[in-house]
Chains A and B, each alone.
Chain A
Amino acid sequence: MKNYDVVVIGAGPGGYVAAIRAAQRGARTAVVEYRNLGGVCLNEGCIPTKTLIHTAELYRKLQNAAEFGIEVRDVRVNVRKMLDRKETVIGINTGGIGALFKANGIDLYKGKASIAEAGVVEVNGEKLTAKNTIIATGGRPAQLPGLEFDGTRVIGSTDALNLERIPESVVVIGAGALGTEFACIWNAFGAKVTLVEMMPTILPRSDSEPAKLLERILRKKKIDVRTGTRVEKIERKEDGVTVHFAGGKADSVDAEIVLVAIGLQCNSEIVANSPALNIPLGKRGGIPVNDRMESPVPGIYAIGDVIDRTWLAHGASAEGIVAATNCTGGNAVMDYRVLPACNFSSPELASVGLTEQEAKDQGYTVKTGSFLFAANGRAHTLGSAEGMVKIIGDAATDEILGVHILGPEAGEMIAVGALAMRVEGTVEEIASTIHTHPTLSEALWEAAEDYYGRGIHSKPKK
């Protein structure tokens, strides 16, 4: 029996970060993982989808290269090569984690873990004693009754990443981050895409103003966006599916495949299978924890998708650092106030902090400033001048409550908003910061000036 200070179950972006931090803090640390290192993020999530999105963008740019004065003939998609490259990128990243484990003296156990009792983790019949256990087992795509994945006609995101061909037509159910991203990928490759969302706007967790603008942009790209629409039923046929809608436009659409992207289910079976722990699970199977990431059982922590909170890789990593700190004698509390996120649609929609509605609901007197990329020089040089920046402030103090960016490189630019919020900046700090010309970031500055009604490149506010 091996003894550890910290045993981390799951080597995704939550678990592997937690393990490294625990080892850095001097804990004897082990990680248990039954699949490749890196979790969904590296293997079926963030990294592979972004690889495909970049490829799709490149393809679209090549198709439009003539506009830029470059004539390219016979642009074709080689799906096999595309998937190979994706695997190469994944391999580089997962290999990196293995090397980091070695460098930090972390023992890796390959296999499925179970918790026999609090403080004992079992893997491949071997028992590890753990003063502290961090459960970081992640989540998986949720399935709808009647919409179960069959791997060919009705698929989830994991299948979608490994499709050997570009489908001619596809219905995407769920316009959250994942659904919208795949809709944009297939749209770029020329598929006929129908994007269905039950809520009144796509990306329902985003601020409605940029979300609605994105909806218009996607429609212009010929994506059939149907908001406020439910799926009545799916008919599986030999050569495809027929999806019947209710709500919005009550008709049906034939498609080659259906992608179901309606959220995630927590991989909390490790707790469910350990009744001795007596931890009640939430809806979607979330393990309940406090903001120190402690479960109701002393010495057992949980982080990431399995606690059903942020559904973000960097959220899981931040939680992992909090958990690792607390189980090695530290005292950290997870602060979710500044947690940026990016939807890698085209264009990207990134945000940090509150939406305008959330700010109002929390009782703030809300003031906003916004700016369209249509008036940004750099955006035009890139040939992507669609989108906007919106800043939400507290009228009493001008504190930045939220920043929402729809446009090229929004995911990169949002870091500035996050930093500004982290240091409790006011909109005035952004407005008084000199921004580089010509860059996309100038749009953020203009939005800050617009907040005070003095934008340089926007019409005076009436």
Chain B
Amino acid sequence: MHEILLPKMGNSVEEAEIVKWFKKEGDAVETGDPLFSIQTDKAEVECESTASGILRKILVPEGVEVPVLTVVALVGDADEALPDNMGAPSASAPAAQVSAPIAGPAAAAPAAPVSPGTGATGKSPVSPRARKAAEALGINPATLSGSGVGGRVMEQDVLASARSGGAVKITPTARRMAENAGLSVAQLSGTGIGGKITKADIARSLEQGIAQAAPEAKEGIRTVPLSPMRRIIADRMCASKYSAPHYYITVEVDMSAAKNFRAANRGFKVSYNDLVLFATARALRSFPAVNARWCGDFIEELSEVNLGMAVALPTGLIVPVIRNAHLLSLEGLSSTAKALAEKAQTGKLLPDDYQGNSFTVSNLGAFGVDQFTAIINQPDSAILAVGQMKDRAVVIDGGIHIRPVMKLTLSSDHRVIDGAVAAQFMSHLKSILEEGAF
């Protein structure tokens, strides 16, 4: 019997939710077949089967979050006996049923349990889903005792705490009504004594909910349910725009040198965007103050340039990251960018491919946009918005000339980057592109 593990997708991902099983128990699977998809806190990823045979047992149902390297399914022969301890996990207590733990990076036998406490570094870890639920319910997760491996606070711990009245003031009947209806009470305001949520409040909310959930009743309006990606975009953009004081600086770049460079190097196909990325990585190397992060009590200036590049997808967008872009040659950067863009388009990005960015470049030139302002892709402190390259009449030494001009706009977080610094950075970037020193 082969164990199918939740794959480890880089150091930053500790757990993921199984979104969908593509096969059901009893189906035949081949190594490499898409078996299930997972949702991390940044993206949805398809996972392939690592064994061939019959999918005998799904151990982690859809919608349940488990740590990486958890055994999520068993693949074996049709008549092979299932191990005794692999009972059907119930959806209500998934984490307790899953025996596999978080393995350290050097773990040779990933299924070996890590004894509770090894992962604990002083205070109990909190799963991202638990943190999210805690935020929604107004609960401090640090006050909870976790049921996960190593005392990790899981989402169900938060929900259980909410049910026991830890957070929201609500009458027992109202709580049952909300549970029956699958209604989240975190956002409701109560009309009972001391703001307690009562039956009447739930009834009112359900009535309004029914009114809202009748899209067909509204003529000319199509209701689009939110995809996980849409939710992530919404959350992250709001978080950025509402927390970081944005300001914008635009420069016009004469791209004649870049154009000449491309003409002179037809051997390998480098795009203008590649040139901008390359120039940006180089400029950032000189301006660590722009390649920086706001950390609340301090600012982190990063020596590594991990360059995010926004890629539009039919259903949203994703920002794969070119690691150590400042160390790459133009060729290397170009081929990396191309590979990442392709992976993004086909949904094959792994979490490490789109995490750890320190600066992001967004290019809408291909859509005929001259100039725009972008929202900072946190934890970055700045983002470069690239417009289209267009021949324009420019005045040089008193004469009118036609030059290919590209407008670059930097959005900066003023908490981290002051205007003069941003201006110097843009001026430096402009000179790299205009000198054509690639």
- A: residues with CB less than 8 A from B are 396-399, 423-426, 428-429
Kindly provide the distance from the CB of A389 to the nearest chain B CB, expressed in whole angstroms.
20
Contact of B171 among A396, A424, A428 (CB under 8 A): A424
- Quick one: which of A424, A425, A429 has the most chain B CB within 10 A? A424
Q: Is the interface of A mostly helix, strand, loop or mixed?
A: loop
How far in angstroms is the closest Cβ of chain B from A80? 50
Contacts of B199 in A (CB 8 A): 399, 424
Taking a contact as CB atoms under 8 Å apart, the answer to whether B180 and A428 are in contact is: no
- In the complex, the answer to whether B171 meets A425 with C-beta atoms within 8 Å is yes
Kindly report which residue of chain A lies nearest to residue B197, judged by CB atoms. Answer: A424
Query: What residues on A are CB-neighbors of B64 within 8 Å?
Result: none
Instruction: Tell me the complex Cα distance, A254–B177, Å.
Output: 57
Residues of A near B177 (CB, < 8 A) are: 397
* CB-defined contacts of A396 to chain B, threshold 8 Å: 176, 180
**Given A397-B176, A399-B176: 18 more A-B contacts, CB < 8 Å:** A396-B176, A396-B180, A397-B173, A397-B180, A398-B173, A398-B176, A399-B172, A399-B173, A423-B171, A423-B172, A424-B173, A424-B174, A424-B199, A425-B171, A425-B173, A426-B172, A426-B176, A429-B172
For B171, list chain A residues within 8 Å (CB): 423-425
CB pairs A–B below 8 angstroms (16 shown): A396-B180, A397-B173, A397-B177, A398-B176, A399-B172, A399-B173, A399-B176, A399-B199, A424-B173, A424-B174, A424-B198, A425-B172, A426-B172, A426-B176, A428-B172, A429-B172
Q: How far is the CA of A399 from the CA of B171 in the complex (A)?
A: 10
Query: Most chain-B CB neighbours within 10 Å: which of A396, A397, A426, A429?
Result: A397
Please give the distance in Å from A112's CB to the nearest CB on chain B.
41
Q: Label chain B's interface by main secondary structure.
A: helix
Distance (whole angstroms) from the CB of B436 to the closest CB of chain A:
73
A397 to B183, CA, bound (A): 14
- In whole angstroms, how far apart are the Cα atoms of A396 and B199 in the complex? 13
Closest to A420 in B: B172
Smallest CB–CB gap between B368 and chain A, Å?
A: 58
Interface string of B148-191 (1 = CB under 8 A from A): 00000000000000000000000111101100100000000000
Q: Which residues of B contact A423 (CB under 8 A)?
A: 171-172
Contacts of A428 in B (CB 8 A): 172
What is the distance, in angstroms, from B84's C-beta to the closest C-beta of chain A? Answer: 31
CA distance A67 to B86 in the complex (A): 65
For residue A398, which residues in chain B have a CB less than 8 angstroms away from its CB?
Answer: 173, 176
Closest B residue to A393 by beta carbon equals: B173
- Complex CA–CA separation, A397 to B171 (angstroms): 12
Smallest CB–CB gap between B205 and chain A, Å? 15
Q: Which 7 A-B pairs have CB atoms at the shortest separation, nearest pair first?
A: A424-B171, A397-B176, A424-B173, A399-B173, A426-B172, A425-B172, A397-B173
Q: How far is the CA of A374 from the CA of B199 in the complex (A)?
A: 36
Closest residue of chain A to B177, judged by CB?
A397
Q: Which residues of A contact B180 (CB under 8 A)?
A: 396-397
Q: How far is the CB of A394 from chain B (nearest CB, A)?
A: 8
Tell me, rounded to whole Å, the shortest Cβ–Cβ distance linking B378 to chain A.
43
